Every structure is written in structure tokens, then in C-alpha cells.
Amino acid sequence: AQKVTQAQTEISVVEKEDVTLDCVYETRDTTYYLFWYKQPPSGELVFLIRRNSFDEQNEISGRYSWNFQKSTSSFNFTITASQVVDSAVYFCALSEDRRGGADGLTFGKGTHLIIQP
């Protein structure tokens, strides 16, 4: 069965610091998809990124970057020059390819990121 581990329950940094959120996953499928979602204090779930198991290219989007390493089953998320608006709970999630992903997402327990001014 699939599993996602976010070992960091809470991280607190001062604004403008860089911060990395860790995500380690387990799956028996060779084809799978990894996601990051943001849940701000308002409560909605905001999609950030999707990565396929056959694409290990790292991705950068503005201050956000993601490092996918199949060798260590990790999909880490880095925020550069953090801002107070980045304060939220961040979830890493996994979707296996069998049945076309209709099994839904398996989420990690989330990392609560606090950016202090």
C-alpha cells in the first residue's frame, strides 16, 4: 500500500529565510504521481505542483522549487526568501496509476509552516 511521510510537523522561520519541506513516499507501482498542496488559514486546498514518476526533472516556479529523487523516494519542496503569506499547512500526496488514478490521493500528515515577520 502507498504511504506518504512528512516528518516535519511544524516549521517556524523568520521572513526571507529559505525553508525546505520534506516528503518521503512509498509505493509498489512503477508509475505514480506526486503532488503538493497548500492549505492556508482560510481552509481551501490549493494545488501547487504535480510530478510524474518518469520525470525526475526538478522544477522551479518563482520562489518555489521542488526536488524529486526516485533513488531516495523523496519529493522535497523549497521556498526561497519566504514571506508571511507562505504561512500555511503544506501537504504532499501520492496517486498511483492503477485504475487511472481513480483511487484518489494518499496524503501525508502535513507540515505547518509559520513565517514570522
Partner 1 sequence: DTAVSQTPKYLVTQMGNDKSIKCEQNLGHDTMYWYKQDSKKFLKIMFSYNNKELIINETVPNRFSPKSPDKAHLNLHINSLELGDSAVYFCASSQRRTGALNTEAFFGQGTRLTVV
Cβ proximity of 90 and 35 under 8 Å: no
Work out the burial of residue 112: count CB atoms within 10 Å of its CB; fewer than 13 is exposed, 13-18 middle, 19 or more buried.
middle
40: contact with partner 1 by CB under 8 A: no
Among 3, 47, 60, 81, binds partner 1 (CB under 8 A): 47
Q: Which is nearer to partner 1, 8 or 15 (CB)?
A: 8
Q: Three-state DSSP class for 48?
A: strand
Among 12, 84, 104, 116, binds partner 1 (CB under 8 A): 104
**Can you say how many angstroms the Cα of residue 95 is from the centroid of all Cα atoms in its chain?**
13
Among 66, 75, 95, 115, binds partner 1 (CB under 8 A): 95
Among 76, 94, 106, 113, binds partner 1 (CB under 8 A): 106
